[in-house]
Structure 1
Amino acid sequence: HLAVGYGIANSIMVEGIDGNIIIDASDSVAEAEEVYSHFSKINSNPIKAIIYTHNHGDHTFGAAYYYNLDEEKPMVIAHESTSKYVERIMGILNPIISKRSSRMFGTELPSGDVINVGIGPYLGVSQSPIGYIKPNITFTDELKINIAGVDIELYHAPGETNDQLFVWLPKHRALMPGDNIYRTFPNLYTIRGTPHRDVKSWVKSLDHMRSLKPDYLLPSHTKPLEGEEVLETLTIYRDAVQFVHDQTIRLMNKGHSPDEISHMIQLPPEVSSSPFVREFYGTVRWSVKSIFNGYLGWFDGNVSNLDPLPSEDYARRLAMLSGGEEKLFEALQKAVESEDMQWALQLSDSLLALNYKIDSTKKLRQEAIQYIGDRALNPNKRNYFLSSANELNANYQAEPLLPQTSELLSEISIDMFFDILSVRLNPEKAKGIKQRVCFEFDSGNIKTITLRNQIAEVSSEKTNCNILVKTSEQILKEALAGVRNPIMTVASGDIDTGGQRTNFLNFLSKFAE
């Protein structure tokens, strides 16, 4: 049974003899509850297992609802690397990924401005508490298991994510491909930001699926397929991905830059005619640049781009060529009036770098962004542009996309929080500081942060401590995440600093901007 349209991702229920299996758990507890209100009318047997096809929040953040339905807890199954990737997004990259995801999915836009998000109607992560549950059964390459009388085969299938898996029900010849295929050109690169997605591995994963010759395809986004259309679609999809990969490499080897290649490659008509490769989510142009970067890194080979002028210096020289900053501003006005909006955006970049007529420049920039966003066919681009325009409003206030709760923090390792501290150290506040703060947890775990040379080294050695902190992992997590007030938590003794409260709070202050 496939629940489509309740959020960005589908949720799937497989009926067993004495229980049911949930494949992908929706993007929030509230959404999972709504989906299950319909699933339970079909079959209300206990949930025996939750399977994550990969780490993305729209597939994992509703799991707590299913997990807590019955006293006997279900298995939570995923690839062995899934938790690592969840913690990466929830951890050191959370501020920037949250901001860019909010833009891409339009979570802060008025509901009427969000037509859809390309592969679903909307993202509901911020609309209720996050309910991620850490997997308790993992595997490396494949897992064959019987759950509630249902034979299930899970295969590691890197594609949209490195931890991606697909689910195969051999008796039903039914395939659940996760996010490796949906009814739009794939996100070989996502504009919210992602590590390089190995496109060749993605093609191999699709070929593995094709080799099974499935009769049913139940994707985690968009509607299911059956019969001959399944194999035909899998083939067209993998051919589109391979074409973009191979032609990017061919043109790279001819010396073309990413920008040049992105304008040179178009899918062949026999492929582009398929509705499964229309560019409503990923695009060929964005994919080309990501493939180039994945093989050769950020340097495009043009020497003028190796150590370019700082943006402010470039803008100043551009203004001089134009006859001064006012002439550059007039050019921006003219570009907006003539609806040459991409040029207007690039001119506004230079004027903002020069801090020239900030309010007027931002207003014109907002008009250009809004114009492009309103006309964008790709929902990712549309939402990103309209969100960026919204942020230029004087009364704009950002809302957290991933609100923290005690329940969520209990599923995240303490190691992640020390990684966060490391990358949040303010080097100016740490100048000339040599300090060693040791944390002794009631679990027996030891963590130590050593400040020196304006870096924070994390280790597990409790020696030569300037401050020894004793507490529980959960209490420290809640204090660092803002669920608890750190000052009050130290004052109450829940975080024991051995009489060095002021010194410890001063230490923590070095990790704030």
Structure 2
Amino acid sequence: PLTTEQTARDALALANAQLGERPVHAVIYTHSHTDHFGGVLGVVSQEDVDAGRCKIIAPEHFLAETVGENVIAGPAMARRALFQFGVLLPADPKGHVDCGLGNGLPLGAPGLIAPTHDITKTGETMTIDGIEVVFQLTPETEAPAEMNFYFPQFRALCMAENCSHTMHNLIPIRGALVRNALKWSKYIHEAMALFAEQTDILFTSHNWPQWGKEEVSAFLTNQRDLYKWMHDQAMRLANHGAVPTEISEQLSLPEEFLANDHTRGYYGDLVHNAKAVYQRYLSWYDGNPANLHKLPPVEAGARYVELAGGEEALFDRAQAAFDEGDYRWAVELLNHLIFANPDNDAARCLQADTMEQLGYQAESSTFRNAYLNAAQELRLGPPPNAGQPVRARGILSAMTVEQVLDAMSIRMQSEALGGITTLLGLRFSDVDEPWVIGVSNRTLFYRPDDAPSSADAIVSLSRTLLIEVMSGERRIEDVIRDGLITVEGEVQAVIETFAHLDTFISGFNVVEP
């Protein structure tokens, strides 16, 4: 149901106006990416779901994968997504043109209602309002938790985001878990075996449908072969000893894929995808010990400047590379110079010009957006820093206690926890499950259990309040002072457990130190 409540509500209103208004009795989340669940509150309310008037259907492990992507890595991923999607670029021929899968991202906040029914196996069938739906689980494809589904009565197949009218990402530049290209191809092949002969309409989460059995079969065949080809050829070269940067230079799309719009790199890019295949099997490390523990960018930059004979000498080399159209070499030289001295305005301006040239030449919209966003930040600076809650309230509200504590763990400031050891029992007014949590070796630990007699304190609170403390909306000292929680035992142990939470900012530097 789209990305945000506002866009989903408007889309449903349009459908109702054109097709006649009907109640929503089920929502299908095809997978665990925000643009496929974030608008749920625009089509159904939590009250309708709680009352059993609407089912929320999702692939198994959906909620865990959603939290892992949008909460655990949320602040960093959101910052990097500005580069991938170019949402801060002006919409004009020299700025943002497209996102590859669609024109652009909505800027509203996503929501989430937890699934009421998990699909756990391929072939599982549900009948909703008299409509039969057959599901195919496809984990570790375009998303860690994903599924396709088929409407037998309408001979219509939904391939979720496992097929699109473009080459997709095996790992998006915003960051994510590496996707399994081999499984991805095999699940498309399985869908062909299960449904293709009975399919007259194929539709996907993005882009337009395919009509007719022959067109459907050809589309699925090309999509299947694209992901298998990238997987096989990247690993063929890897097993010859090629490293990621070499593989991405040696591979080029064959004419069979270049001839079809839906297998070209308008979104994903072969350069990036080849490296993703390598990373999945062999990690980020290319096997050369010279790259095992490299200097960080600032220190390396300073030494490259010294090696070149100073900032002016390095700049002159970069300018010469730019003038020759050797933009990849120019951008590498200037990156060292800017990380050595971010106040070098000439270097920043030339780097921005270089990034623009790389962006204008990119077929992939994500590469274009990243380069042009970098150019904009080099000229204008990064977005203003602001406190970054762990993501939208709608996503937080659907989290389990364990997921809340997982998210809280990455906010624990290790440097402030020296010498602190605590053990607490948590009792929730809105969750029928006690938890034990504490601090040990500067690390938060937790498990569902009754608190032992040795616990420093027993804390009574709501899950909602725990979310507010974890996300930084409330300080534990204020919550205790205002009587919003009950503490039986050592209040100081409670403060020491919850008081040392880091705050993430939304505008950290990327293209400069």
Q: TM-score range by the shorter chain?
A: 0.7 to 0.9
Greater shift, 209-218 or 381-390, is seen at 381-390
The residue number in structure 1 matching 2:69 is 89
Distance in 2, matches of 1:217 and 1:434, equals: 57
1:226 aligns with 2:211: yes
Q: CA 1:508/1:355 → structure 2, altered by over 3 Å: closer, same or farther?
A: farther
Distance 1:200 1:334 in 2: 43
- How far does residue 448 in structure 1 lie from its aligned partner after superposition? 3.4
The aligned residue for residue 3 of structure 1 is none
The 2-side partners of 1:270 and 1:407 are apart by: 44
3-state SS in 1 of match to 2:104: coil
CA drift at 1:156: 0.3
Q: Please identify runs of 4+ aligned residues in structure 1 that moved more than 6 A.
A: 399-403
Q: Which moved more, 1:383-392 or 1:225-234?
A: 383-392
- Once structures 1 and 2 are overlaid, which stretch shifts more, 162-171 or 311-320? 311-320
The answer to whether the aligner puts 1:166 opposite 2:143 as a matched pair is: no
Q: Of residues 82, 103, 121 in structure 2, which corresponds to 1:141? A: 121
Corresponding residue for residue 418 of structure 1: 405
> Displacement, 1:272?
1.9
Distance in 2 (CA, whole Å) between partners of 1:308 and 1:486 is 40
Q: Does 1:466 align with 2:456?
A: yes
Distance in 2 (alpha carbons) for counterparts of 1:467 and 1:349: 52
Q: Secondary structure at the match of 1:244?
A: helix
Aligned to 1:429: 416
* CA deviations over 1:31-62 (Å, ceiling 9, x no partner): 11111111112031211111111111111011
Pick aligned residue for 2:12 from 11, 36, 48 = 36
SS of 2:148's equivalent in the other structure is strand
CA distance in 1, matches of 2:110, 2:76: 18
1:403 CA displacement:
8.1
Separation in 1 of the partners of 2:356 and 2:390? 28
Q: Is the 8 A contact 1:98 1:402 kept in 2?
A: no
2:42 corresponds in structure 1 to 65
Letter of the 1:414 partner, please give it.
V
Give the alignment of 1:370-381 within 5 angstroms. Answer: 370-381=356-367
SS at match of 2:285: coil
**CA deviation after TM superposition for structure 1 residue 334, in Å:** 4.5
Between the aligned partners of 2:163 and 2:382, the Cα distance in structure 1 is 40
Q: Secondary structure at 1:47's aligned position in 2?
A: coil
Larger CA deviation: 277-286 vs 448-457: 448-457
Distance 2:436 2:338 in 1: 43
Partner of 1:445: 433
With normalisation by structure 1, the TM-score equals 0.87
Q: CA deviation at 1:467?
A: 4.0
Match of 1:47 among 17, 21, 24: 24
Q: Do the aligned residues in 2 keep the contact of 1:77 with 1:135 (CA within 8 Å)? A: yes
Q: What's the offset of the Cα at 1:169?
A: 1.1
What root-mean-square deviation, in Å, do the aligned CA atoms of Structure 1 and Structure 2 show? 2.6
Q: How does 1:81-230 map to 2 (within 5 A)?
A: 81-112=61-92, 113-124=95-106, 126-127=107-108, 129-142=109-122, 143-158=124-139, 159-211=141-193, 212-213=195-196, 214-227=199-212, 228-230=214-216
Q: Can you list the C-alpha shifts for 1:285-305, whole angstroms capped at 9, x where unaligned?
A: 111101111111122122322
Secondary structure (helix, strand or coil) at the match of 1:289 reads: helix
**Cα displacement string for residues 449-490 of structure 1 (whole angstroms, at most 9, x for unaligned residues):** 322322222234523333432210112212322445655433
Structure 2 counterpart of 1:427, one-letter code: S
Cα pair distance change 1:27/1:359, threshold 3 Å: same
8 Å contact kept, 1:422–1:458: no
Distance 1:234 1:278 in 2: 15
CA deviation vs aligned residue, 1:245-282 (integer Å, no higher than 9, x gap): 11112111111111111111122212320111111011
Q: Distance in 1 between matches of 2:12 and 2:209?
A: 19
Aligned partners of 1:376, 1:135: CA distance in 2, in Å?
Answer: 39
Paired residues of 1:440 and 1:468 also in contact (CA < 8 A): yes
Superimposed CA distance per residue, residues 111-135 of structure 1 (whole angstroms, 9 cap, x where no aligned partner): 44321110111111x32x4221111
**How far did residue 74 of structure 1 move?**
1.0
Partner of 1:397: helix, strand, or coil? Answer: coil
1:369 paired to 2:355: yes
The structural deviation recorded for 1:422 is 1.5
- Given residue 460 of structure 2, which amino acid in structure 1 is its aligned partner? K
| 1:9 alignment counterpart | none
Query: What residue in structure 1 maps to residue 508 of structure 2?
Result: none
Task: Give the C-alpha shift of residue 404 in structure 1.
Answer: 5.2
The percent of aligned pairs where both chains have the same amino acid is: 28
Alignment length, in residue pairs?
A: 487
Deviations 1:90-128 (A, max 9, x none): 32111111111232112233344321110111111x32x
Give, in angstroms, the shift of residue 86 of structure 1.
Answer: 0.8
Cα distance in 2 between the residues matched to 1:260 and 1:210: 34
- The alignment partner of 1:294 has SS state of helix
- Per-residue displacement from partner, 1:307-333 (whole Å, max 9, x unpaired)? 334444543443333123442244345
Residue correspondence of structure 1 range 467-506 to structure 2 within 5 A: 467-484=457-474, 487-498=477-488, 504-506=494-496
Cα distance change, pair 387–437 in 1 and its aligned pair in 2 (3 A): farther
Alpha-carbon distance between aligned partners in 2 of 1:49 and 1:402, rounded to the nearest angstrom: 30
SS at match of 1:67: coil
CA distance in structure 1 between the partners assigned to 2:117 and 2:252 by the alignment:
42
Cα distance in 2 for partners of 1:314, 1:407 equals 42
The alpha-carbon distance between structure 1 residues 488 and 306, as it changes in their structure 2 partners (threshold 3 A), is: closer
Using the size of structure 2 for normalisation, the TM-score is 0.87
Q: Distance in 1 between matches of 2:150 and 2:37?
A: 19
Unaligned runs of 5+ in 1: 1-24
> Superposed, which structure 2 residues align to 1:335-346 within 5 Å?
335-336=321-322, 340-346=326-332
Separation in structure 1 between the aligned mates of residue 285 and residue 77 of structure 2, nearest angstrom:
23
Per-residue deviation, 1:79: 0.7
- The unaligned stretches of length 5 or more in structure 2 are 504-513
Give the AA of the match of 1:459.
R
Number of the residue aligned with 1:323: 309
C-alpha distance 189-200 of structure 1, shift in aligned 2 (>3 A): same
The CA deviation at 1:407 is 4.7
Measure the CA separation in 2 of the matches of 1:408 and 1:116.
27
